[in-house]
Amino acid sequence: MSASSSSSSTATKTAPSSSRAPRALSRVATSDAPEVSRLAGNMIVASDSMAEAESVTLGLWVRVGAGHEREHENGLAHLLEHMVFKGTRRYSAREIVERIESVGGWINAATGRESTSYECKVPPGELRRAVGLLGELFCAARLAADDLESEREVVLQELGQAEDTPDDIIFDRFQAAAWPGHPMGRSILGTPDSLRGFTVGSLREFRARHYRPPRVIWTAAGRLEHGDFLDAIGEGFAARDGGDGVSTRLRGAPRYSGGFTGEDRALSQLHIVFGTRGLGRLDDSWPALALLSQILGGGMSSRLFQDLREEAGLAYAVHSFLTSLKREGLFGVYAGCEPSRGEELVRRLVGGLREVAGRAPDADECECARAQLRSSVLFSRERSEARMESLARRLFIYGRARPLVELLSALDAVTPEEVRDVAGRLLSESPRLVVLGPLCGGLDERLRAAAEIN
């Protein structure tokens, strides 16, 4: 279980300025044809059949996460995800995992900021068993007081472990600083104070408010027939308690804030995230942003990896990342370095982004980054887990199982000039710099100056 960011219409885009021949769409992409059904009560069921698979992976996705919590509920969605595994009306905590592991499968769950998922992987003949168990977790978790006391301590340990891992917790710090005062900026795990304040009543009220069939998306991938999946859900879930629940819309769009956040810690390295406001997944320029992120810090051939690590020896780890909601997002670069070289690292990092904004990358560099992004999508099609999760993400973001052909065609249509323009769009925002590590001797002010933060 885990706690898991200027527009132009594609209709007016010109062909990419490259001498390469038009790309033939892959067999994998053109054969992407998931089946989607909407059951009574607006529950969505979708499947992606893999004839050669020796497994089926399925997920029950609830459209509620940490981003939907009220201020006093910070961490409640994640704690509830833990608590449903402590026992149901029919099964003890041990029996829950044995139901799946006894047939060679696995079961897990994850809480995000926009959704919570409960997932199983089983042999194809055990589809009904898996659906029935996930339905039992969703509808009939006991949520008992004695279980709450022990599981609260488990989550507090998880929170402590995260705090002891600076190259993990810094991303939470960045999101909290960039989206201050909004649920999307708060930690998924919550805080020690919020966790200690939760009661069984808190859990039951949150579940009653959000865990309703209309908030559910079922997805599955592997060796299965869509009709069998529907039948299994009809037997093990659909006839249970329904109702509309309440809206799970986010509490207003998060407002981006630039600036500097420094946390003085006795560490051997500075852990640094430099970022700006990004783009939501529905923005027409999001594919260009994805290409920019890949060019800057998406792999070992990326500009920042080559500059900061291979040439200057400033950092062991450096990579870019995107946090994208439907309509809002963040772009960032993480690096860790020797404290005495932090100022140089930040200056070179900012310079790398300015370089792209000032001059469009050449066609070959764009094509290299495009190939990496395309392959990451297509290679993941070999695993039923990835296909199941991809199907759920597309349904959440686009409200439909948007075909891979559309996604890859949008990526192929991005020009070097659009990559340059989206870099300029990022630089038009005030940057946000977050640093964890030793900040003595005025280092915080020097880092702020290197990032050009007033």
For 292-314, the pLDDT digits (tens) are 999 999 999 999 999 999 999 99
| DSSP label at residue 182 | S
CA 380 to chain centre: 16
For all residues of the chain together, what is the average pLDDT?
Answer: 91
**What percentage of residues in the chain have a pLDDT greater than 90?**
86
What are the chain's domains?
A: 39-238 (3.30.830.10), 259-450 (3.30.830.10)
**Higher per-residue confidence, 79 vs 10:** 79
Tell me how far apart the alpha carbons of residues 404 and 374 are, in angstroms, rounded to a whole number: 10
pLDDT in tens, 236-286: 775 454 444 445 555 678 999 999 999 999 999 999 999 999 999 999 999
pTM: 0.90
Q: Which of 360, 384, 273, 256 has the alpha carbon at shortest distance from 318?
A: 273
Strand order in the sheet with 315-324: 259-264, 432-437, 270-277, 329-337, 315-324
pLDDT in tens, 436-450: 999 999 999 999 999
* Strands 216-222, 44-49: pairing kind: parallel
- SS3 at position 79: helix
**pLDDT for 196:** 97
Q: What is the mean pLDDT of residues 86-113?
A: 97
263 - beta bridge partners? 436
Active-site residue identified among 73, 81, 126, 151: 81
Q: Please report which residue ranges of 37-123 form alpha helices under DSSP H.
A: 76-83, 93-101
pLDDT at 106 over 90: yes
* 338 is annotated as an active-site residue: no
Tell me how far apart the alpha carbons of residues 230 and 213 are, in angstroms, rounded to a whole number: 14
**pLDDT for 21:** 42
| DSSP label at residue 54 | S
Residues whose CB is less than 8 angstroms from the CB of residue 376 and which lie 6 or more positions away in sequence, other chains included:
none
Contact assessment for residue 175 and residue 323, using Cβ atoms and an 8 Å cutoff: yes
Tokens coding 229: 């999946």
pLDDT in tens, 122-162: 999 999 999 999 999 999 999 999 999 999 999 999 999 99
pLDDT in tens, 11-43: 333 334 444 444 555 555 556 789 999 997 789
**pLDDT for 251:** 63
**pLDDT for 245:** 47
Band (7; pLDDT cuts 50, 70, 90): very low
Q: Which of 53, 95, 333 has the alpha carbon at shortest distance from 221?
A: 53
59 - beta bridge partners? 119, 219
Residue with tokens 């990032």: 451
H or E element that contains 194: helix 192-197
Band (425; pLDDT cuts 50, 70, 90): very high
pLDDT at 56 over 90: yes
Position 128, amino acid: R
Contact assessment for residue 165 and residue 112, using Cβ atoms and an 8 Å cutoff: no
Burial of 16 (0-12, 13-18, 19+ CB in 10 A): buried
**Higher per-residue confidence, 17 vs 195:** 195
pLDDT in tens, 323-358: 999 899 999 999 999 999 999 999 999 999 999 999
- Residue 104, number of CB atoms within 10 A of its CB: 11
**pLDDT for 305:** 97
CA 369 to chain centre: 21
**What percentage of residues in the chain have a pLDDT greater than 70?**
90
